[in-house]
Amino acid sequence: MVMNQMIDGLLVINKPKGMTSFDIVAKVRRLVGQKKVGHAGTLDPNVDGVLVVALGKATKLIDELQTRPKSYIGEITLGFATETEDLDGQVIEELSIDIPFSSEKIDNAIQQLNGPIKQKPPMYSAVKVNGKRLYEYARNGEIVERPIREAMIHSFRRTSNILFANGLQKFDFEAKVSKGTYIRTLAVDTGQAIGIPATMTKLTRVMGSGFKIEESLHLDELMRLEHNDVVAKVIPIKEVLDWPIKELNEDEWFAVKNGQKISNWSPSNQYLQLYYQNKLKAVYQYDEDGRVWRSRYVFDNQ
């Protein structure tokens, strides 16, 4: 593959701490020589782990990739809170623990946060209110009502013994959560359920968009590769999708490549991957109201 040819697919990168997700995207853009690069789910600078980077036509799938569950491991510390809900912010509340909370009390608080929950996003977050991001209000010292958001906590549990020292308690956890969940806030909510300020003090994403950290490439390793070797690491679009496949005949392909609606296929609640001459061309979805299949993603109309 030559440098000027568009690369389509995914790179699964193990983002190091100290870099933003945009930093990673910028490096990948320079590495592959194309502008059309994005990521499926922001990681804060001091969070490491899986960052799925989409290239070329795979950027169309970012919204879908972000709907897939994410898994994290980390550490929660009880006894203080910060303005950012992690170690990046100033301490805003401290309460020394004289008698340690029992493991039963802590585990009960964690259990309460499993399943569907409502969260108030951190002030230092990218959620928009009246056209401005919350972190913009926070940096200006402005107070604004934060929207309540729904999240699904598929699994949240303690994974270590509880350490008690210097008026603090800390423990490791793992969590599998839906799109839009703030793990920082999950730590704060755990503390609130116990009755103590809390902070997320470590965090690693171990799975993102269905990709495990064991499948990821370390950034340093990736940056040392030659262009052709980078291309060889890219996961093709067709390997990312798991929806049913439909092979198109000539008439169907004519309709699909022209973006036409299709009414004579059987209804389904799943997307359809559409192939023509053994090549992935598009993805269609069924519109129950119109009782027709409509184009959802187009990858190739040639």
Per residue in 133-177, pLDDT (tens digit) is 877 877 878 878 877 889 999 999 999 999 999 999 999 999 999
Q: Give bridge partners of residue 261 from the DSSP assignment.
A: none
Distances (CA, A) of 173 to 4, 74, 128, 156, 160: 45, 5, 29, 7, 7
Residue 4 pLDDT class (50, 70, 90 cuts): low
DSSP one-letter code for 225 = S
All domains in the chain, ordered by first residue: 9-68+210-237 (3.30.2350.10), 71-202 (3.30.2350.10), 245-298 (2.30.130)
Q: Distance between CA 197 and CA 191 in Å, rounded?
A: 5
Average pLDDT of the segment spanning 216-239: 93
Residue 3 pLDDT > 60, yes or no?
no
Contacts of 105 (CB under 8 A, 6+ apart): 194
Q: What is the DSSP string of 103-156?
A: HHHHHHHHHHTSEEEEE---SSS--EETTEEHHHHHHTT---PPPPEEEEEEEE
Per residue in 95-121, pLDDT (tens digit) is 999 999 999 999 999 999 999 999 987
Q: Distance between CA 186 and CA 4 in Å, rounded?
A: 44
Residue 31 pLDDT > 70, yes or no?
yes
Per residue in 253-295, pLDDT (tens digit) is 999 999 999 999 999 999 999 999 999 999 999 999 999 999 9
For residue 2, the model assigns a pLDDT of 46
Residue 180 pLDDT class (50, 70, 90 cuts): confident
For residue 139, the model assigns a pLDDT of 81
Average pLDDT of the segment spanning 188-207: 97
Residue 1 pLDDT > 50, yes or no?
no
Positions marked catalytic: 44
This prediction's pTM: 0.89
Distances (CA, A) of 182 to 44, 126, 127, 178, 279: 11, 11, 11, 10, 38
Residue 126 pLDDT > 50, yes or no?
yes
Average pLDDT of the segment spanning 179-204: 95
